Amino acid sequence: MKEGIYVVSVGAGKNQTPLIQRLQERGYIVISFDKDENAPGKQLSHIFNNISSWDYEKAIQWLDTIECKIRGILCFSYGKALVTQQKIINHYNLNCKINNSFIDIMADKSYQRKILCKLGLSTLKEYNSFSDIANNIEHTSFIIKDKIGGSSKNILLIQKSNFDKKRLEDNVKNDYIIQEFLNGKEYRIISLVQNKTIHFLSIMERTNINNSFFTGRLRPENNCNKDIISYLEMVIDKFKIIDSAIKVDIIKETNRIEIIEIDFGIPGDYFETTISKSCYNYNYIDNYINLMIGLPLEKKIVLDHKLCFDYVYNNKDEDKIVDYNKIFKAADKHFDNYKIIKIKERNEVARYPQSNMDAIFAIIHDKEKLSNYNVNQIFNDAL
């Protein structure tokens, strides 16, 4: 085999290519696998196989046949791909290993809640059936969501006052979980932890687009949220984290903090490729690589920034054709300093959103007083 440092990328799709490309630039020998035989990261990898990023057993069997010493397992994805990453890390006893009993929390929301409650990190009430809504005397609002899901898809807010059990039974087909609804501020916590120490920290307030649970805006917090930092430190301690990338979505209602979702992986939402550079002047990708292979991290905690990251969706019932000429023209008119992150392709059809994945594009700008609703209106009018 070729001499050098071998690393593995779980996945080789569009979102993994910035990672694979940077690994190449740094001189590593990249092994990758993906269910798409023509994944764009295939051409950037030294060794590739057509294996789903969800199939850790098949991936491990294949990796065992490659005669090399693997230095790190990296993943620019979420959910079951992170489970695969951790299974491989555990198999080879590599850096950033988390306790085996915690791995499945990244793919199963119900199991995640059980672990959080067991560790004393959550008191959120969870229920088993629609009948629990009708008979509940403690809460009046509930969230129903897929037990295994992502991208804020198939999330319903149910009021006890207009609860219709039969309609829910007819429309909710997947395995679901029911939780009490909290009405508070949402935050995303992003951290790189090395030797049990926080080396990078981002706290961003998250707001959703109107009447949905889809991410609308991520705004770096301007104040030092000591209670949120203390909560993160408790998460690190309870999960016995030594080295890890962490993303925690929380909701804060008065003095109560509840975890919405936790991943031991990258934050997503273009943080690693765009937000970290624009808002924090921080090279997240390089530091993530260093973390996963055991090299020192840049220690940098920045909390004082005024930029906003907004997703733009088609907020109308009729389909729209993506036209970046119109988008940039509208941006030039309304924003002095901005950066457009293209998500959908030019001339692609943009429909009314069903999940976070349906955003047309994103924009980083410094006009904080414009709400995410205002920003969406500007560009929807332009299209």
- Strand-pair partners of 350: 320
* Per-residue pLDDT tens digits for 163-184: 666 666 666 666 777 878 888 8
Most confidently modeled range among 68-72, 142-146, 183-187: 68-72
Average pLDDT over residues 174-201: 88
pLDDT bin (cut points 50, 70, 90) of residue 10 is very high
Other residues' Cβ atoms within 10 Å of the Cβ of residue 155: 16
SS3 at position 300: strand
pLDDT bin (cut points 50, 70, 90) of residue 303 is low
Q: 343-353 burial by CB neighbour count: b if 16+ within 10 A, else e?
A: bbeeeeebeeb
Q: Are strands 300-301 and 197-208 parallel, antiparallel or unpaired?
A: parallel
pLDDT at position 319 is 93
More confident residue, 31 or 149: 31
pLDDT at position 192 is 96
φ and ψ of 170, to 5 deg? -75, -30
Q: Are strands 70-74 and 126-127 parallel, antiparallel or unpaired?
A: unpaired
Distances (CA, A) of 322 to 216, 327, 329, 342, 347: 19, 8, 13, 10, 5
Average pLDDT, the chain: 89
Q: Are strands 256-263 and 244-253 parallel, antiparallel or unpaired?
A: antiparallel
Distance of CA 147 to the CA centre of its chain: 17
* Per-residue pLDDT tens digits for 37-52: 999 999 999 999 999 9
- The answer to whether 295 and 26 have CB atoms below 8 angstroms apart is no
Residue keyed to tokens 């009018």: 381
pLDDT at position 299 is 76
pLDDT bin (cut points 50, 70, 90) of residue 301 is low
* Per-residue pLDDT tens digits for 98-113: 999 999 998 888 889 8
Kindly provide the residue ranges of all beta strands, DSSP E only, lying in 160-241, ordered along the sequence: 176-180, 185-194, 197-208, 215-220
- The answer to whether 83 and 55 have CB atoms below 8 angstroms apart is no
More confident residue, 328 or 130: 328
pLDDT at position 144 is 79
Residue 247: pLDDT above 70?
yes
Largest CA-CA distance found in the chain, in angstroms, rounded: 67
Other residues' Cβ atoms within 10 Å of the Cβ of residue 254: 6
pLDDT bin (cut points 50, 70, 90) of residue 272 is very high
Q: Rounded to an integer, what distance in angstroms lies between the CA atom of residue 100 and that of residue 98?
A: 6
Tokens read off for 142: 């509930």
* Per-residue pLDDT tens digits for 51-83: 999 999 999 999 999 989 999 999 999 889 999
pLDDT at position 172 is 64
pLDDT bin (cut points 50, 70, 90) of residue 155 is confident
pLDDT at position 255 is 85
Q: Rounded to an integer, what distance in angstroms lies between the CA atom of residue 383 and that of residue 379?
A: 6
